[in-house]
């Protein structure tokens, strides 16, 4: 199999976390912003654990200061996606870094990102995302600006950040605002915290997709709930291994979850931080876990079914994964 050429759908990709290191260094040089401590001597992002990863991520975001910067970032990231065979992608992006919750500013950022995405060969949608460790009040601000701009490429609302902070219930109001606006809902859970975190997220945020969710494997009753309720997991194996949640693909639960009937999809999360890309993910699943073209078609159909897009786009893209 030529892994880069297999058509792919990616549902879990952070726009800021996908920024190529060279792109961030270039912007930092243009603006005279210090990136001391962000990169190592090989030019890759430096972090040692999950909390440090989030801190480096936020430091790198300090160079992204204008709508034009974000437009350039969308172009760079979607070009990279296309080179790995991705034909449909949903990008998490944090309005906190796009004007801090000011609606007028956010609309300018969104316009620049939309223009860049529409000019790219990849069909893209945006999932504005609140950052859990910024707290529930800021999450409501993020939900409000997202709801105000729902439509166009803005089709979902999500939550990332430090899963150990606050409880899912604290964010219920923000997710209610987004649900009311007709947006698809997704939240990180079951990545650095266990099954209880996934359960609370389903109970209080009522999302159709869980970012990661892999630690649901620790609780068979939760696994059954995911199957019964048709919850889709955005699994990012390379990210989980890089963060030390599982030692390697053999120890990763993606195949076990799938065999239990849980709907799984495959994404990269923050590729340069985790030294991965969609080609490497597919190659790993094939070489370490024996996944075949049929398996890849199946997970991509699952992803298109769960995608936050209109049905015309869904059927058009679904046709690429019918195994012909
Ligand atoms: N987990 C939680 N929050 C994040 C991540 C992640 O992997 N990437 C960017 N924000
Ligand atoms: Zn993520």
- Tokens standing for 36? 């001391």
Its pTM stands at 0.98
Question: Is residue 296 a contact partner of residue 6, using CB atoms and an 8 Å limit?
Answer: yes
Q: Which residues of 105-116 are buried (b: 16+ CB within 10 A; e: fewer)?
A: bbbbbbebbbeb
How many residues in the chain?
324
Q: Which of 128, 161, 276 for mutating ligand 1's site (highest number of atoms within 8 Å of CB)?
A: 161
Surface-to-core class of residue 248, CB atoms within 10 Å of its CB (0-12 exposed, 13-18 middle, 19+ buried): exposed
Q: Are strands 8-14 and 209-212 parallel, antiparallel or unpaired?
A: unpaired
Q: Which atom of ligand 1 is nearest to the CA of 161?
A: 3
Q: Which atom of ligand 1 is nearest to the CA of 160?
A: 3
Per-residue pLDDT of the chain (324 residues; tens, 9 = 90+): 899 999 999 999 999 999 999 999 999 999 999 999 999 999 999 999 999 999 999 999 999 999 999 999 999 999 999 999 999 999 999 999 999 999 999 999 999 999 999 999 999 999 999 999 999 999 999 999 999 999 999 999 999 999 999 999 999 999 999 999 999 999 999 999 999 999 999 999 999 999 999 999 999 999 999 999 999 999 999 999 999 999 999 999 999 999 999 999 999 999 999 999 999 999 999 999 999 999 999 999 999 999 999 999 999 999 999 875
Q: What is the side-by-side strand order in the sheet with 156-160?
A: 8-14, 86-93, 123-131, 156-160, 184-189, 209-212, 232-235, 263-266
Distance CA 248, CA 205 (A): 31
Task: Identify any residues that bridge with 140 across adjacent strands, giving them in sequence order.
Answer: none
From first CA to last CA, the distance across the chain in angstroms is 15
For residue 229, how far is its CA from the centre of ligand 2 (angstroms)?
Answer: 22
Question: Is residue 156 a contact partner of residue 125, using CB atoms and an 8 Å limit?
Answer: yes
Which sequence positions are flagged as catalytic? 191
Please list every protein residue whose CB sits less than 6 Å from any atom of ligand 1. 14, 17, 57, 160-161, 188, 191, 239, 269-270
Q: Which atom of ligand 1 is nearest to the CA of 17?
A: 9
For residue 120, how far is its CA from the centre of ligand 2 (angstroms)?
Answer: 23
CATH class name, domain 7-19+67-321: alpha beta
Q: Going by C-beta distance under 8 Å and a sequence separation of 6 or more, which residues neighbour residue 147? A: 157, 177, 178, 180, 181, 183
Domain-wise residue ranges, the chain: 7-19+67-321
Distance CA 105, CA 68 (A): 12
CA proximity to 107, closest of 139, 45, 154, 73: 154
Task: Identify any residues that bridge with 188 across adjacent strands, giving them in sequence order.
Answer: 211
């Amino acid at each position: 199999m030529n892994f880069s050429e297999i058509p792919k759908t990616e549902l879990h990709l952070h726009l800021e976390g996908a920024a190529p290191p060279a792109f961030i260094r270039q912007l930092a040089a243009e603006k005279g912003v210090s990136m001391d401590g962000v990169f190592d001597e090989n030019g890759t992002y430096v972090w040692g654990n999950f909390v440090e990863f989030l801190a480096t991520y936020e430091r790198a975001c300090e160079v992204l200061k204008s709508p034009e910067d974000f437009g350039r970032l969308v172009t760079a990231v979607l070009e990279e996606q296309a080179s790995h065979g991705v034909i449909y992608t949903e990008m998490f992006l944090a309005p906190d870094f796009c004007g801090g919750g000011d609606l007028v500013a956010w609309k300018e950022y969104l316009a620049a990102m939309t223009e860049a995405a529409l000019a790219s060969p990849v069909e893209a949608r945006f999932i504005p995302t609140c950052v859990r460790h910024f707290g529930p009040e800021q999450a409501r601000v993020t939900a409000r600006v997202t709801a105000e701009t729902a439509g166009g490429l803005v089709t979902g609302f999500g939550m990332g950040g430090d899963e150990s902070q606050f409880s899912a219930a604290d964010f219920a109001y923000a997710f209610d605002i987004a649900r009311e606006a007709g947006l698809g809902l997704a939240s990180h859970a079951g990545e650095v915290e266990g099954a209880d975190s996934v359960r609370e997220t389903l109970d209080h945020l009522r999302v159709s997709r869980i970012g990661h969710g892999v630690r649901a494997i620790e609780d068979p009753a939760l696994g059954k709930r995911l199957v019964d309720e048709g919850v889709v997991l955005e699994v990012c194996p390379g990210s989980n291994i890089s963060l030390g949640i599982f030692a390697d693909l053999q120890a990763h639960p993606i195949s076990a979850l799938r065999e239990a009937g849980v709907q799984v999809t495959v994404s990269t999360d923050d590729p340069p931080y985790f030294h991965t890309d969609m080609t490497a993910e597919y190659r790993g699943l094939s070489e370490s876990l024996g996944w075949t073209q049929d398996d890849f078609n199946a997970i991509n159909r699952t992803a298109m079914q769960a995608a936050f897009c209109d049905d015309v786009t869904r059927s058009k893209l679904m046709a690429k994964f019918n195994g012909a």
